[in-house]
């Protein structure tokens, strides 16, 4: 049996991909969209309906009428929840053949952003970075999109730098830590 949060996560994913869903009152359009994303293979119609109702009650989606159409919109709260889910699932994918480059994240985040910094650094460790020294993290794989997303979400863009380097004096240690050699 699927957890409600898992179903809600999948529904929010579909809505985020489609944007604003405009579907006919009887909702065959919605059924077709969910079919495209295989939700009906994964969950029963009852589970999806119940989860939709929960999302509406918690104000993550709004359902209204526009003429003869039912319009389902992802609300600001729904978008924030989706971003939280997206952050929770984020991982840096290793390359099949390592390009022998290091991605270094360094930062100097002001005290007033202390909570954002703590969350940012916690997440760097979760997604595959290794702490080199205070305010310096390393990763051997391309991660520009992930770091850019985190800078934006935690509102710390001006204080964070991503450097790509071919040489680093602690290369042997990092190769061992990342099990590359």
Predicted local distance difference test score (pLDDT) of residue 40: 74
- Least confident range of 15-19, 39-43, 62-66, 160-164: 15-19
Tell me: pLDDT of 70 over 50: yes
Can you count the helices (H) and strands (E) in the chain? 8, 7
CA 131 vs. chain centroid, Å, equals 22
Q: Phi and psi for 26 in degrees, rounded to 5?
A: -70, -15
What is the C-alpha separation between 15 and 74, in angstroms, rounded?
7
pTM above threshold 0.85:
no
What is the C-alpha separation between 30 and 45, in angstroms, rounded?
12
Could you tell me where the DSSP H helices lie in 20-93?
Answer: 28-36, 39-42, 45-57, 76-89
- The neighbour count for residue 178, using CB atoms within 10 Å, is 18
Span 98-146, pLDDT tens digits: 999 999 999 999 999 999 999 999 999 999 999 999 999 999 999 999 9
Span 79-104, pLDDT tens digits: 878 877 888 889 999 999 999 999 99
Q: What is the CA radius of gyration of the chain?
A: 21
Q: At 176, list the tokens.
A: 């061992």
Q: At 56, list the tokens.
A: 């509406």
Q: At 26, list the tokens.
A: 């009887």
Could you tell me the pLDDT band of residue 26, with boundaries at 50, 70 and 90?
Answer: very low
**Comparison of pLDDT for 28 and 67, the residue scoring more:** 67
Could you tell me the pLDDT band of residue 18, with boundaries at 50, 70 and 90?
Answer: low
Question: Where in the chain does DSSP place strands (E)?
Answer: 21-24, 61-66, 69-74, 102-107, 130-133, 136-139, 160-165
| Structural domains present in the chain | 4-88 (1.10.10.10), 93-177 (3.30.70.240)
Span 41-64, pLDDT tens digits: 788 878 887 887 888 888 888 877
């Amino acid at each position: 049996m699927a957890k409600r949060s898992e179903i809600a996560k999948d529904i929010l994913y579909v809505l985020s991909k489609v944007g604003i869903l405009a579907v006919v009152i009887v909702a065959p359009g919605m059924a077709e969209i969910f079919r495209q994303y295989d939700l009906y293979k994964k969950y029963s119609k009852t589970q999806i309906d119940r989860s939709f109702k929960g999302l509406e009650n918690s104000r993550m989606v709004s359902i209204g009428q526009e003429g003869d159409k039912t319009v389902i919109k992802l609300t600001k709260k729904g978008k924030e929840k989706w971003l939280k889910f997206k952050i929770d699932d984020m991982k840096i994918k290793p390359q099949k053949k390592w390009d022998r480059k290091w991605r270094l994240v360094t930062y100097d985040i002001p005290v007033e952003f202390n909570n954002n910094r703590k969350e940012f650094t916690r997440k760097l460790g979760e997604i595959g970075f290794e702490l080199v020294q205070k305010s310096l993290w390393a990763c051997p794989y391309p991660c520009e999109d992930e770091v850019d997303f985190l800078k934006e979400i935690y509102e710390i863009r001006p204080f964070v730098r991503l450097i790509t380097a071919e040489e680093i004096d602690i290369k042997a240690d990092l190769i061992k830590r990342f099990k590359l050699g």
